[in-house]
Chain A
Amino acid sequence: MSAFQTTALPAGEVAPDFTLPATPDQMLALSDLRGQPVILAFYPADWSPVCGDQMVLYNQVLPEFRHLGAHLVGISTDGVWCHAAFAHDRGLHFPLLADFEPKGEIARRYGVYRPHEGTSERALFVIDAEGVIRWSYVSPVGLNPGADGILDALESLAGKRDVTKEAVS
């Protein structure tokens, strides 16, 4: 699996702050999570097939992410009610943010919007406790990138090793 040419914000950049709906009546700001690493997982759409579904996999891996001190946040251009139905159906234990209005604005700021489809790329960002991107990865849109890259990046953060140089180019 190799990343292709991408405009995604690279490691070393400050992660753009944002505030988006996490539920029909709750907002979540990236800055609310400052102080702990954050995994920002952009994905194209809710309701992809069950067993290969990226969010279902991350839901399963959530205890490992938490063990490494990290918050996980999913983000797509679906609306809050779609997210609510999807999260309920799959029993997800982490927030899904609605990058819905203006559509894909946050995906654009992270360099991972797909204007033709109106969705984001399948893109991962690991952001450190100070709000700096320490690892980013864009997967081919049809391919679930798994969790190994995230785990490696979080472990590097925990070991205070500089991963900036190891980021995907």
Chain B
Amino acid sequence: MSLTPAVGPHDHSEGLPDAPVTLVEYGDYECPYCGEAYPELKAVQRLMGDRLRFVFRNFPLTEAHPHAAHAAAMAEAAAGIGKFWEMHDMLYEHQGALDDRSLTRYGTIVGLTMGQIEQALSGAHDEVLRRDFMSGLRSGVNGTPALFINGQRYDGSRDADSLVEVLRAVARDVA
């Protein structure tokens, strides 16, 4: 199962664009399994350093997770002022408090205006979220989190040690 479309300029990414390995996560801010993966993926980024580019795409299961759409929208709003990753991290570090009031507070903390926050909560980023969701479906995402390593779906363990082992092997093959 391969990633469609490939990682491009519209994606949220951390790390060097020419890193030998790109890890893409399709995630939902309210999904508990994504919450469990969050510190592991942070550790993976630390351990891989410049050899890894990390990309996040939205796959909010809003029928199951009532706050997932607004949380994702707030991260997209933050992206508009260059604060996507600050918001991404704040959301995963406060998974138990994703109601609109809490989201508004996080928005204020990263520097969004009340106008930007209200727009985010009233659907201004729906098209971006839908684009990510549909790309996930086309790429074979069947739940969250879903990981792709250099475009190929990864179904193995998501603990940092297992991931780093796989990513290092991929980096060696690319080099």
> Which A residues form the contact surface with B (CB < 8 A)?
1, 50-54, 56-57, 59-61, 64, 90-91, 93, 143-148, 151
Contacts and interface: CB of A to CB of B under 8 A. Distances in A.
Contacts of B61: 51, 56-57, 60
Interface stretch (B10-18, B94-102, B133-141): B133-141
Interface string B124-143: 00000000011001111111
Contacts of A59: 63-64
Contacts, number: 57
Contacts of B143: 51-53, 57, 144
Given A51-B32, A64-B137, 10 more contacts: A50-B32, A51-B33, A51-B61, A51-B143, A53-B143, A54-B142, A56-B64, A60-B133, A90-B64, A146-B137
Most-contacted residue by chain B among A53, A57, A143 (CB, 10 A): A57
A60 B1 contact: no
A51 B31 contact: yes
A59 B143 CA distance: 12
Contacts of A93: 63
A57 B138 contact: no
Given A51-B33, A51-B64, A52-B142, A1 B1 contact: yes
A60 B63 contact: yes
Nearest to A149: B140
B62 interface: yes
A64 B63 CA distance: 14
The 6 closest A-B pairs by CB, nearest first: A52-B143, A146-B142, A144-B142, A59-B63, A146-B140, A51-B31
B144 interface: yes
A91 B137 CA distance: 20
A60 B30 CA distance: 15
Interface in B105-125: none
Contacts of B33: 51-52
A59 B62 CA distance: 10
Contacts of A90: 63-64
A43 to B, nearest CB: 12
A64 B137 CA distance: 10
